[in-house]
């Protein structure tokens, strides 16, 4: 949904205006329509719009003229041009002049809404308008989870359904996909929301330490147990207990967990007293538990106890449309920590981030954004601030087809210049990365004199003077 987005539709054909209004109103937009560019400018003088959708061919001032006026007076407003087959070349010209997107007539409702969403995302990368950022947050956020993709909306729906159920939940997802955030969201939507949420990473502790943490221990039960200690199952009673990476738990400990789920009771390590607990257990794994059952490393009966309500988290690669919103969120988070302000990020840098495969998922993206904030030192984040592995996945802009032989020659020169720049930038950045930022060592490594190597660094802003 595009709830709350304000849109102005400009077209001299009333049927087009009425069609756009019906489609976008169903998506939750606030839509106004006018039939000329002059009327559009008059309407925009009385209120702000997030998006203007305009036809190119209109009596009087055409769509290009209107676009130019909007860029001068309302640079934060995204402009989408509507075009027929015969005016696609004019749409390309509109893109060159600053239009966010174009859509070809006739278009389907899905095509129109998708184009508006893309224009809003592009606008979010270029403007610091507070009211738009707030709407972006509403559209792309669920608790502390960021993402408005279809896959994430399905996760949100599941969280809302399973939250009040109080049954056990098993979250499947690769490392870095945000399994603990989902567990916290389930707790926040449960009847236990006012009680404790306790989390334990099963990979961070040895078998003996994990059992001591979970079940507690009595004094003298093992070397170093100088006092008795209550376990987290006892402390968390009444609340939610999250066990991350349950696939790393040993078979003996799995047996004890099964008893907790079946009987709601346990014994501390080295103790004889049976203790009761009332917890809602949520577990998570990045492993194939069914395969582990087949090879005898995971208890089948425990699996069925845990897998009552399964939730599958998508990888970041599977929901790349969420990357701009995630980048904005992390820029705000680390910008406040580093220098108290949120840096801007260029569309070219965002394009590169979207193209990357993200083997480490959202956690990797967060770490890279933190690095970008530090490296950019308060300025706009550009492609050269990204790791070399991401820079290599350079995404070209829209191709404008030359119309004359002279334009073709100019385009060839431009492409050659840009290719050389990209090669030089990657060459220097890779040398620095191989040599841990040591300029003298990097220059020797590539066979250049240090002043020449340093000149290339300055050219591409890869290091401070």
pLDDT in tens, 428-442: 888 887 887 888 888
Give the pLDDT confidence score for residue 183 in this predicted structure. Answer: 96
Give the pLDDT confidence score for residue 135 in this predicted structure. Answer: 46
Average pLDDT over residues 64-83: 87
35 contacts 12 by C-beta, under 8 angstroms? yes
What's phi and psi for 3, nearest 5 deg?
A: -55, 130
- Pairing between strand 169-172 and 309-312? parallel
Q: Has residue 32 got a pLDDT over 90?
A: yes
Give the pLDDT confidence score for residue 290 in this predicted structure. Answer: 95
pLDDT in tens, 131-190: 444 444 455 567 778 888 889 989 999 999 999 999 999 999 999 999 999 999 999 999
Three-class SS of residue 233? Answer: helix
Farthest-apart Cα atoms in the chain, separation: 91
Percent of the chain exceeding pLDDT 90 equals 40
Three-class SS of residue 53? Answer: strand
What's the distance, CA 429 to chain centroid? Answer: 26
Rounded CA separation 164/188 (Å) = 9
Cβ contacts of residue 421 below 8 Å, gap of 6+?
Answer: 460
Select the highest-mean-pLDDT range: 11-25, 73-87, 282-296: 282-296
Q: What is the DSSP letter of 436?
A: T
Q: Has residue 331 got a pLDDT over 80?
A: yes
CA distances from 178 to 81, 103, 369 (A): 38, 35, 16
Average pLDDT over residues 31-60: 90
Give the pLDDT confidence score for residue 392 in this predicted structure. Answer: 64
- Lowest-pLDDT choice from 208-217, 289-298, 374-383: 374-383
Three-class SS of residue 34? Answer: strand
Q: Has residue 377 got a pLDDT over 90?
A: no
Rounded CA separation 79/67 (Å) = 7
Which pLDDT band, with edges at 50, 70 and 90, does 463 fall under?
A: low
113 contacts 2 by C-beta, under 8 angstroms? yes
Three-class SS of residue 28? Answer: coil
End-to-end CA distance of the chain: 48
132 contacts 6 by C-beta, under 8 angstroms? no
- Lowest-pLDDT choice from 63-77, 170-184, 367-381: 367-381
77 contacts 51 by C-beta, under 8 angstroms? yes
Query: Among the residues of 311-404, which ranges form H helices?
Result: 323-338, 347-355, 361-376, 388-391
pLDDT in tens, 406-429: 767 766 776 777 778 778 888 888
Q: Which domains does the chain have, with CATH numbers?
A: 6-127 (3.40.50.2300), 150-312 (3.40.50.300), 316-400 (1.10.8.60), 406-465 (1.10.10)
Rounded CA separation 412/202 (Å) = 57
pLDDT in tens, 303-323: 999 999 999 999 999 998 889
Average pLDDT over residues 366-390: 81
Tokens of 37: 């560019």
Give the pLDDT confidence score for residue 413 in this predicted structure. Answer: 74
Which helix (H) or strand (E) segment is 425 a member of?
helix 405-434
Integer-rounded Cα Rg, in Å, for the chain is 28
């Amino acid at each position: 949904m595009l709830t709350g987005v304000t849109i102005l539709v400009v077209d001299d054909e009333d049927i087009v205006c009425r069609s756009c209004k019906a489609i976008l109103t169903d998506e939750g937009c606030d839509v106004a329509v006018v039939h000329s560019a002059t009327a559009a400018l008059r309407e925009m003088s009385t209120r702000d719009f997030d998006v203007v959708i305009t036809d190119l061919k209109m009596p009087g001032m055409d769509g290009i003229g209107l676009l130019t006026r909007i860029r001068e007076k309302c640079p934060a407003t995204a402009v989408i041009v509507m075009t027929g087959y015969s005016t696609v070349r004019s749409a390309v010209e509109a893109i060159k002049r600053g239009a966010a997107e174009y859509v070809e007539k006739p278009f389907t409702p899905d095509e129109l809404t998708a184009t508006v969403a893309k224009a809003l995302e592009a606008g979010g990368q270029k403007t610091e308008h507070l009211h738009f950022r707030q709407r972006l947050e509403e559209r792309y956020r669920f608790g502390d989870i960021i993402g408005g993709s279809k896959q994430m909306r399905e996760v949100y729906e599941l969280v809302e359904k399973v939250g009040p159920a109080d049954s056990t939940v098993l979250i499947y997802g690769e490392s870095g996909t945000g399994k603990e955030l989902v567990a916290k969201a389930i707790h926040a939507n449960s009847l236990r929301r006012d009680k404790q949420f306790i989390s334990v990473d099963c990979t961070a502790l040895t078998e003996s330490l994990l059992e001591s943490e979970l079940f507690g221990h009595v004094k003298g039960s093992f070397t170093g147990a100088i006092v008795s200690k209550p376990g987290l199952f006892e402390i968390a009673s009444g609340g939610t207990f999250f066990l991350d990476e349950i696939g790393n738990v040993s078979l003996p400990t799995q047996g004890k967990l099964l008893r907790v789920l079946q009987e709601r009771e346990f014994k501390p390590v080295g103790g004889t007293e049976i203790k009761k607990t009332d917890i809602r257990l949520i577990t998570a794994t990045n492993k194939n538990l069914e395969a582990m059952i087949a090879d005898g490393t995971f208890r089948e009966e425990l699996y069925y106890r845990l897998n009552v309500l399964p939730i599958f988290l998508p990888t970041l690669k599977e929901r790349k449309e969420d990357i701009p919103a995630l980048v904005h969120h992390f820029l705000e988070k680390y910008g406040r920590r580093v220098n108290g302000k949120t840096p801007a990020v260029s569309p070219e840098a965002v394009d590169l981030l979207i193209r990357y495969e993200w083997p480490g998922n959202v956690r990797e993206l967060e770490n890279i954004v933190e690095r970008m904030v530090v490296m950019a030192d308060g300025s706009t984040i550009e492609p050269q601030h990204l790791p070399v592995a991401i820079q290599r996945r350079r995404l070209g802009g829209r191709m404008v087809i030359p119309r004359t032989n002279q334009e073709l020659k100019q385009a060839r020169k431009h492409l050659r210049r840009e290719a050389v720049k990209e090669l030089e930038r990657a060459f220097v950045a890779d040398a620095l990365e191989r040599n841990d930022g040591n300029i003298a060592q990097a220059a020797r490594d590539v066979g250049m004199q240090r002043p020449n190597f340093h000149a290339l660094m300055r050219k591409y802003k890869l290091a401070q003077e």
